[in-house]
Amino acid sequence: MDRSIELERQYCARNYDSLPVVLQRGEGVWLWDVNERRYLDMMSAYSAVSFGHSHPVLVATLIAQAQKLAVTSRAYHTDQLGPFLQSLCEMTGMPRALPMNTGAEAVETALKAARKWGHKVKGIADDSAEIIVCRGNFAGRTTTIVGFSSEPQYRDGFGPFAAGFVSVPFGDAAALEAAITPRTAAFLVEPIQGEAGIIVPPAGYLAACRAICTRHKVLLLCDEVQTGLGRTGRLLACDHDAVRPDGLVLGKALGGGLLPVSAFLASEELMGVFAPGDHGSTFGGNPLACAVGAAALRLMVDGRLVERAQEMGARLIEGLRAIDHRAIREVRGKGLLIGLELDPGVISAREFCERLMRNGILSKDTHATVVRFAPPLIITESEVEAALAVIRAVFDSLSDNDRDRIAA
């Protein structure tokens, strides 16, 4: 076995079951393992690497800023935070932003803001605000967040959990409305559920949720940590439905694939609940993160990456839908966030990903049956065609013998 894998086995916590490949280098949509074998990255670190690996502009920005000033804490102002948040707010149409690092922290920030708004603005009795979430949600791994997950493994053994969360089925606006009570402060939703298996709700769902939330004075919080920043072929997945949320959570791609950078964006009224000392983060909004984040946003616009995600996504989804194979149950998604649902009676998603890996494509199964295709947004037409050729070849290789062997 590879020495690096052995060392991970010996020293690392066993909280991941990584595919057996040892990567050492990346450039654009490509990754190389320690044997200099090249792979097309169709996963992009769960959408964190939307700009491709080691984008030269982002790396140059990172180096220049690191040499100048990297971390100060927000005990002081820096020349980087204001301009970064100005770009972020102007691009997303949200008036204010609160910078954090990981997606989970930004979601926690949204939950804290929503509860405080519920108690101080809406007039819900202290400590009784409720937040409605969707079954199948994924919003990170903190104790509060896993407490409202519907995935047994994410919760098992980690309780007791925070109270105040109510679950409704995803994609069912009537269920949302029925669950609202005078204590409801907010509804937290992913416009497309990523980790649940790239679940696209019925058309008009988000717009219906927006109308319901407005009618009942409930905040609409959109978790776009995965779907945001061009991934689905719009800058925000909310834009597909022309919906403006009261609170928006961004992360992953915001760090340009180099750093953890996240943000909670909100209306004046919602963000107004925070006074100095109410909330914070040592690293949130550090100048290094801001410089890279601002450069990433510029690249999004200058590289026309939203349009590219839409065009390349349409090509990829069309190509996948054209594959006629008994193992395929469904191909779904928007832009370059695509899920291929397999019949586990023919092949598991994990086994399919291992076969893709052996043929030079890195992807990742989500749950037992879905293979995720979410390459960097910079992917070109010929790279999409090359990926489709490999995927078709893997399907072709699933002979009846293979099926018997896999089932055995």
| Catalytic annotation, residues | 138, 223, 252
Segment 109 to 138, residues that bind ligand PLP, using CB under 6 A: 138
Cα(first)–Cα(last) distance of the chain, in Å? Answer: 25
Q: What are phi and psi of 318, to 5 degrees?
A: -65, -45
For position 107 contacting ligand PLP by CB under 6 A, the verdict is yes
- Chain centre to alpha carbon of residue 271: 23
For position 256 contacting ligand PLP by CB under 6 A, the verdict is no
Cα separation values, 277 from 75, 164, 399, Å = 11, 24, 62
Angle subtended at Cα 155 by Cα 147 and Cα 42, rounded to the nearest 5 degrees: 100
For position 84 contacting ligand PLP by CB under 6 A, the verdict is no
For position 99 contacting ligand PLP by CB under 6 A, the verdict is no
**Minimum CB distance to ligand PLP smaller for 133 or for 212:** 133
Residue whose C-alpha is closest to residue 370's, from 317, 335, 331, 324: 331
**Minimum CB distance to ligand PLP smaller for 231 or for 355:** 231
Q: What are phi and psi of 367, to 5 degrees?
A: 60, -170
Residue 224 CB, nearest distance to ligand PLP (Å)?
7
**Minimum CB distance to ligand PLP smaller for 46 or for 148:** 46
Judged by CB under 6 A, the residue of 194, 245, 293, 333 near ligand PLP is 194
Which amino acid appears at position 191 of this protein?
Answer: P
Q: Identify whether the C-beta of residue 331 lies closer than 8 Å to the C-beta of residue 314.
A: no
Residue 308 CB, nearest distance to ligand PLP (Å)?
21
Cα–Cα distance for residue pair 307/230, rounded to 1 Å: 8
- Taking CB under 6 A as the rule, which mask of x and - marks residues 140-179 in contact with ligand PLP? x---------------------------------------
Of 221-229, 289-297, 331-339, 396-404, the segment contacting ligand PLP by CB under 6 A is: 221-229
Judged by CB under 6 A, the residue of 40, 97, 104, 357 near ligand PLP is 104
For position 258 contacting ligand PLP by CB under 6 A, the verdict is no
Residue 48 CB, nearest distance to ligand PLP (Å)?
8
Residue whose C-alpha is closest to residue 301's, from 114, 160, 91: 91
298 burial via Cβ count (<10 Å: 0-12, 13-18, 19+): middle
**Residue 81 C-beta-side C-alpha neighbours within 13 Å:** 19
Cα separation values, 143 from 162, 194, 331, Å = 8, 20, 33
**Minimum CB distance to ligand PLP smaller for 52 or for 191:** 191
For position 65 contacting ligand PLP by CB under 6 A, the verdict is no
Residue 35 CB, nearest distance to ligand PLP (Å)?
29
For position 223 contacting ligand PLP by CB under 6 A, the verdict is yes
If phi > 0 it is left, if psi is from -120 to 50 it is alpha, else beta; for residue 397 that is alpha
**Minimum CB distance to ligand PLP smaller for 246 or for 383:** 246
Residue 196 CB, nearest distance to ligand PLP (Å)?
9
Residue 105 CB, nearest distance to ligand PLP (Å)?
7
- Give the helix/strand (H/E) hosting 176: helix 173-179
For position 228 contacting ligand PLP by CB under 6 A, the verdict is no
Q: Which residue has the tokens 């991934």?
A: 231
Looking at beta carbons, which residue is closest to ligand PLP? 103
Q: Identify whether the C-beta of residue 97 lies closer than 8 Å to the C-beta of residue 152.
A: no
Judged by CB under 6 A, the residue of 49, 98, 206, 225 near ligand PLP is 225
Judged by CB under 6 A, the residue of 50, 102, 286, 310 near ligand PLP is 102
For position 108 contacting ligand PLP by CB under 6 A, the verdict is no
Judged by CB under 6 A, the residue of 44, 78, 87, 226 near ligand PLP is 226
Three-state DSSP class for residue 191:
coil
Residue 142 CB, nearest distance to ligand PLP (Å)?
8
Residue 145 CB, nearest distance to ligand PLP (Å)?
8
Q: Where are the beta strands (DSSP E) in 23-145?
A: 23-27, 30-33, 38-41, 96-100, 130-134
Residues of this chain that bind ligand PLP (CB under 6 A): 46, 102-104, 107, 138-140, 190, 194-195, 223, 225-226, 251-252
